[in-house]
Amino acid sequence: MSRENQIAEEAAGWIDRLNQPAFDAAAGPNFDAWMAASPRHRDVFADLQALWQSEALVEALGQAGRAPITAPAPPEPGNRFRRTWATAPRLAAAACAMLLAIMLILPIVSTSTYRSGAGKFRSVVLADGSRVDLSSDTELRVRILPWERTATLVRGEAFFDVHHEGVRAFRVTSGTTSVRVLGTAFNVDRQSPTRTAVSVYRGAVEVGVDGAANLVVRKGDGARVVDGHVVAQPRIAEGAPDWKSGWFEASDIPLGVLIGKVQRYSARPILLQDRSLQALPISGRFHIADTDRALQAVQAAYHVEVAYGPKTISIRPGARAEDH
């Protein structure tokens, strides 16, 4: 193999490693040393990285991908590889296991889970200095890695005051919704598996669905993601999030979502007895931390009846609902 070919392959090897989801920290100095070794290394790597990320390559691969793909019965080069592993299957397996270990173990050991109980708030400071306030009945998984910070809102609602770092972004995911920032304060409310509300109190964030960047939300504004669609909500964030004082400002949201929020504070399950109630649009300001008061307010303003059982609370359509 010519020297030039060798450099290209080494550079390609680094490109592949750099584009893995987890870049092995131990490989960093080796990569820098390789780059420092020769200007030709640096040039070829720069060219290849630009090529790898280029739209032209995506386009060309798209056209190639549409062409009929041959079955995995490779002609000449494949056989060559097959011979190679026949002689060293154990080595390959060991290398594979090690790579896997690095990629799997590091993320696992650096993941922490925080939970708050029903009716309880909890404030935590993360390893990077960011502060997170968990609302009632909330679960958050946080992973701080040398190259990224991610938090997954499993359920509930949380307020993030993200420690500013110029490079390492902070990402919060809730279902398919993701919020990316460098340093700012914002609230994420997982209202249901397919519904998430975001409001920004300082700085700006980018709200996306399924990995695609979608909408930049600035200080004072919010966004709602419902079933994969992002809707901007101007001027809804002021001071501190409502939940910190136990309130919730509903503007045209389904009753099911409001009840979900009241439920976070209630030890007794709240049941919606009629499917049509689930989607009933509700507006108003509710003291969700006080279950009775919140349900009374709903009962007073809408045609629903709240019944307190020994173990559950049920909500039914109001007696006169059919007359309307």
Q: Say whether residue 31 binds other proteins (CB under 8 A).
A: yes
Tokens of 252: 């045209």
Query: Quick one: which of 15, 102, 271, 306 contacts other proteins (CB under 8 A)?
Result: 15
Query: Quick one: which of 183, 256, 317, 318 contacts other proteins (CB under 8 A)?
Result: 183
Window 83 to 142, contacts with other proteins (CB under 8 A): 84-85, 89, 92, 95-96, 99-100
Least distance from other proteins to the Cβ atom of residue 110, Å = 14
Query: Quick one: which of 12, 106, 154, 226 contacts other proteins (CB under 8 A)?
Result: 12
Give the CA diameter of the chain. 87
Q: Say whether residue 32 binds other proteins (CB under 8 A).
A: yes
310: left (phi over 0), alpha (psi -120 to 50) or beta: alpha
Window 46 to 85, contacts with other proteins (CB under 8 A): 46-65, 69-70, 72, 74-78, 81, 84-85
Q: Say whether residue 232 binds other proteins (CB under 8 A).
A: no
Q: What span, in angstroms and rounded, lies between the C-alpha atoms of 140 and 113?
A: 6
Give Cα separations from 299 to 148, 254, 295, 304, 316 (angstroms).
Answer: 46, 15, 6, 5, 10
Q: Say whether residue 36 binds other proteins (CB under 8 A).
A: yes
Q: Are 221 and 235 spatial neighbours (Cβ–Cβ below 8 Å)?
A: yes
Window 243 to 262, contacts with other proteins (CB under 8 A): none
Q: Say whether residue 310 binds other proteins (CB under 8 A).
A: no
Beta bridge partners of 190: 156, 196
- Residue 39 or residue 239: which is nearer to other proteins going by CB? 39
Least distance from other proteins to the Cβ atom of residue 94, Å = 11
